[in-house]
Structure 1
Amino acid sequence: MNKRLFIALVILMSLSLIGIIFVQGYWIKTAVDNKEEQFSNTVSQVLQSVVQRVEQREIKDYSDKLLQIIDSVGELKQSTLNEVFYLEKNENNNETFIYSHGILEEDYGITATFFDNSFDSTAIKSYVSKRTTIIYREDKGLDGKSAYTPVEKIQKMGNMSEIEKAQFEDYFREIVNRVPVHKRVSKAELEFLIQRELKDRNIDLDFEYGVFANGLATKVKTRSFNLNKSTKYKAPLFSDTDGNTPYSLMVSFPKKKKFLISSIIGMALLSIIFTIIIIVAYSSALFQLIRQKQISEIKTDFINNMTHEFKTPIATINLALDAIKNPKAFADEDKVKRYLKMIRDENHRMHAQVENVLRISKLEKNQLDISKDRVDLHELIEDAITHVELIVEDRGGYVKTHLDAEKSTILANESHFTNVLVNILDNAIKYSPESPKIDIYTEVVKNQIIVKVKDQGTGMTKAVLKRIFEKFYREHTGDIHNVKGHGLGLAYVKRIVDDHQGEVYAESEKNKGSIFYIKLPLI
């Protein structure tokens, strides 16, 4: 894939993911806001209903008390009837419609006490609505004179009209305004009404309430009600006919936010979980794409290296065979032996490279059979040194051992672990531009033996150090063939050490050499 196209796709996918996250966040915020607005409207309805019920209950109490007093007095002091008349004549059927509506005011002339307040006789009156409807028909006699005959008469005595009730309630409110609010409504009544109204609207939430007069707290409030904390919802209480009142009923909900969030927590959690899944899937896909791109580059380098490393021994073998075919070479036995040795060495070198690749492949498929026995690690170290000592001596270097561990018996596969040590030593030799100088140390720490292989080679940067145990990885130095190999040796080392329940790691500094550590459990 083109690099620019790859970058463009990554940017577009990232922007899309950010957009999805933003939309989800906006949806959750909008849902919370909508729930809060719905909650506020519901609470306003609750307060209006509570206020209305309290006021109606107060009027009923006053009316009941008034009727009890009137019934107990008996005789009237004075009775007055104020009437309003309405007349209408229908020319079509010669009928005249007369309607009268009056209010019968009955003064009982007593002094009564309501809500711990005394009033004079003018305050205790009974009002009754009197309505009369009469229909007259005009008839002309033989003498030609008109006469009016009543056709229908309807008379009603009963309850007052809405207007008359309003007049009565206005008078009542003027009286009770002088009564303290804690005598007009109790805390128990308010708490019961608020709780019932909330329950009817499926709101199961703790609340605090209080009645305030001109912004000052009255006795009618809960102990923990605080005017300065949380959101307050209020409604006017005991309003007069003009809508004015000094009192207001306030309610607060300390756990409102928790209640609102809990109402959408299910959908919000699902949204968050799906968003996280998308993020994880996207990150994983992006990581795999980048990883595959890196592996593709590494494999390309590997193929180039492998081609180069196979090309050289094949060319050497061909040259040696051509030389042996020369008749003059048969006369020189030493040359023939030398050429045969070159062919054998180069063949062994190619075989070792193929074995490395096969071993790594089998390890990844868990097909490599690794049986373990009791072995002496010091003996394995000495055996590994014999595989590389000729090369080291040929380059004028040395391999020194400092085997100070008191115990060295481990459970390991002799063949594979020898290969591990040879690979580390071979790595130290390859990356020593001058004479290889290698020191091997052993020591016991608790129940583990530690092998330390120290060289004085080129060393590694921290970036390279993090990746040296990755398959196919090799440090780029501008010329990928300056050091032979395919980046398989240390990957093989790590897989074998891990299989032995051990640990392998390295310390290095550029141009100051490297130290490889192997930790293994002792028997």
Structure 2
Amino acid sequence: MKRRSVYIAIFIIAILGLFYIQYKYLKIGVSLATVQFKKNIDLASKNIKRDLADETQLTFLVGQAITDDDTYFKLSIDSIQDASKYFLKDFIRDRLALNGIDTDFSYTLIARDSSFSLKSPNQFKSDENLVTFPIQLDGYLPELSKKDTVLELQFKDINPYLLSQLNGLTIPSLLFMLIIIVIFIWFLKSIYWQKQVITTTNSFINNLTHELKTPVFSINLASKMLGKDLDENKKPFLQIIRQQTERLNKHIDKVLELGKLEFQTKIFELKKVDFKPYLIKICEDFEALSKLDDVKFSYVLNEDSFLIKAEISHLENAINNILDNARKYSENPIIKLTASKVKNQLSISISDNGAGINKKDLNLIFKKYYRVSNGDVHKVKGYGLGLSYVKEVVKKHKGKVKIESHVGVGTIVTIFIPLIHEK
């Protein structure tokens, strides 16, 4: 829970950092866009000034409008002025577009002494935070009016326009950040839901296995009491009861231990120990069992000692589990255990002559509840918990498990546990 909170905090800080960096980049982008806008305005102003310097149909019409001269037209001066306003606006829009400016504007053509003015059809209000760019005209119009003439271009607050020019960068960035946030939230919800399912499942399994402990204990106790006065010809049946009871008990313990390993790491205490005597005991016990089941078992324990940090009971269970798998998955089992020191590690290798495991299953056998099957039939009964338990135990010992297998030849399972070197 604490680790998850740290991850969430780091993610929130990272997202806030990304937003802050995006904001900074946005400010820089707006500044650069402002510089580019002013540069484009300068270029457009030069083009407008140059084109209005000569006498053309447009400048002639505008000149008649600002001098109130209707001599050449069969129209009222008001109509001439209205027409010139629209034609001049179209002309300015065209010159701005040629220089990369495509935003709303207004204009005012005015004399320095304010003796005349010609305003665009659309006029912005004075309180709209206008940006004005004056163009001092030369040539035909000032000479015609005999007055200094200025064309003022007005733009509303250009920041929205500048931001729209950056949409190719800002919108994808914001979109990707939103996608990251949505995926992270979905991931957290999935993890929370999965953890709830696992917790509920484990709680159910733990309760069930604890409930099974009582009848198993009772059966075991009853079988011992029956053995005292039982006929010799019936004792083999009693032995079967004891073996199956013990087997069931081991399965129950395995389920309980795996649940504890996954959710209560504090119960796993590593202690410095020479593991060789324990390994000898494991081999001797399995050797005795092998004689009863017609299993050919041999073992070689090299070196004088195996000094490691271990939780004895769990490591013993893990090794016994591998040995039990080698016995169960072989028709005429030939099993060999070899222990030695390899590159500062204790190597415990268990080989068998079983059916082997194909490559597809090798990547999945350590998953909880996964079992290798032959078609839809599991030849050996079980719950798919054994190797999951082995991997968890070895992981707690800071070691690793390696499996080599060939179908029809056999399997070699090797456990590596770090050794302690005495000074």
Name the TM-score, length of structure 2 as normaliser.
Answer: 0.53
Listed one character per residue, the Cα deviations across residues 272-302 of structure 1 (whole Å, up to 9, x for unaligned) are 111234456668889999x99xx9xx99xxx
Which among 261, 268, 272 is matched to residue 370 of structure 1?
Answer: 268
1:475 is matched with which residue: 372, 378, 383?
Answer: 372
| Native 8 Å contact 2:295 2:327 kept in 1 | no
- Residues 82-102 of structure 1 deviation map (CA, whole Å, 9 limit, x = unaligned): xxxx9xxxxxxxxxxxxxxxx
CA change 1:346–1:164 in 2 (3 A) is closer
Per-residue Cα deviation, 1:229-256 (whole angstroms, up to 9, x for no partner): xxxxxxxxxxxxxxxxxxxxxxxxxxxx
Tell me: CA distance 1:446–1:481, structure 2 relative to 1, closer, same or farther (3 Å): closer
Alignment equivalent of 1:46, drawn from 39, 42, 45: 42
**Against the structure 1 CA distance between its residues 453 and 360, is the aligned structure 2 distance closer, same or farther, given a 3 Å change threshold?**
same
Closer/same/farther in 2, CA of residues 428 and 465 from structure 1, 3 Å limit: same
1:442 and 1:452 in contact (8 A); partners too: yes
Q: How far does the alpha carbon of each residue in 1:142-181 deviate from its partner, in whole angstroms, 9 at most, with x for none?
A: xxxxxxxxxxxxxxxxxxx96792599xxxxxxxxxxxxx
Q: Structure 2: how far apart are the matches of 1:357 and 1:267?
A: 52
Structure 1 residues 41 and 348: alpha-carbon distance in aligned structure 2, compared to 1, 3 A threshold: same
Q: Answer yes or no: is 1:442 the counterpart of 2:339.
A: yes
Higher Cα Rg, which structure: 1
Q: Which amino acid in the other structure matches residue 43 of structure 2?
A: L
- The partner residue of 2:175 within 239, 258, 271 is 271
Deviations along 1:109-134, one digit per CA (max 9) or x if unpaired, are: xxxxxxxxxxxxxxxxxxxxxxxxxx
CA contact (8 A) 2:270 2:309 kept: yes
- Give CA-to-partner distance per residue, 1:9-57, whole Å, 9 cap, x none: xxxxxxxxxxxxxxxxxxxxxxxxxxxx999987654312134568999
C-alpha distance after superposition, 1:174-204 (max 9, x if no partner): xxxxxxxxxxxxxxxxxxxxxxxxxx978xx
Q: Which digits, 9 at most, give the CA deviation of each residue in 1:302-324, with x for residues without a partner?
A: x9xx99xx9xx99xx79x98xx7
Aligned to 2:107: none
Q: Any conservation in 1 of the 2:261–2:392 contact (CA below 8 Å)?
A: yes
Which residue identity lines up with residue 484 of structure 1 in the other structure?
Answer: K
Match of 2:254 among 335, 356, 361: 356
List runs of 5+ in structure 2 lacking aligned partners: 1-32, 54-70, 72-138, 147-156
Instruction: Give the number of aligned pairs.
Output: 280
Query: Secondary structure of the residue that 1:351 maps to in structure 2?
Result: helix
Q: Take 1:55 and 1:346, find their aligned partners in 2: how far apart are those partners? A: 105
Contact 2:372–2:378 (CA under 8 A) maintained in structure 1: no
The separation in 2 between residues aligned to 1:447 and 1:54, in whole angstroms, is: 86
Question: Quick one: which of 298, 302, 307 aligns to 1:404?
Answer: 302
2:143 alignment partner in structure 1 = 165
Structure 1 pair 335–481 and aligned structure 2 pair: CA distance change class (3 A): farther
Aligned residues of 1:439 and 1:453 also touching (Cα < 8 A): yes
1:488 equivalent in structure 2:
385
CA distance in structure 2 between the aligned counterparts of 1:260 and 1:405, rounded to whole angstroms = 75
Q: Provide TM-score, normalisation by structure 1.
A: 0.44
Q: Matched residues in 2 for 1:375 and 1:41: separation? A: 77
CA drift of 1:338 comes to 3.9
Change in CA separation of 1:339 and 1:509 when aligned onto 2, cut-off 3 Å: closer
Paired position in structure 2 for 1:122: none
Report the Cα offset of residue 416 of structure 1. Answer: 1.5
Give CA deviations for 1:434-462 in whole Å, capped at 9, x if unaligned.
Answer: x2112222332332222221111111111
**Distance (Å, rounded) in 2 between the aligned partners of 1:341 and 1:167:** 126
Counterpart AA for 1:46: D
The amino acid across from 1:436 in the alignment is P
Distance in 2 of aligned mates of 1:454 and 1:163: 103
Q: Equivalents in 2 of 1:162, 1:409: separation in Å?
A: 104
User: After superposition, where does 1:189-200 map in structure 2 within 5 Å?
Assistant: none
Q: 1:423 deviation in Å?
A: 0.5
Give secondary structure in 2 for the equivalent of 1:514. strand
Gaps of at least 5 residues in structure 1 are: 1-36, 58-85, 87-160, 169-199, 203-258
Please tell me whether the aligned partners of residues 404 and 413 of structure 2 are also in contact (alpha carbons under 8 angstroms): yes
RMSD: 4.9
Q: Contact 2:394/2:400 (CA < 8 Å) preserved in 1? A: yes
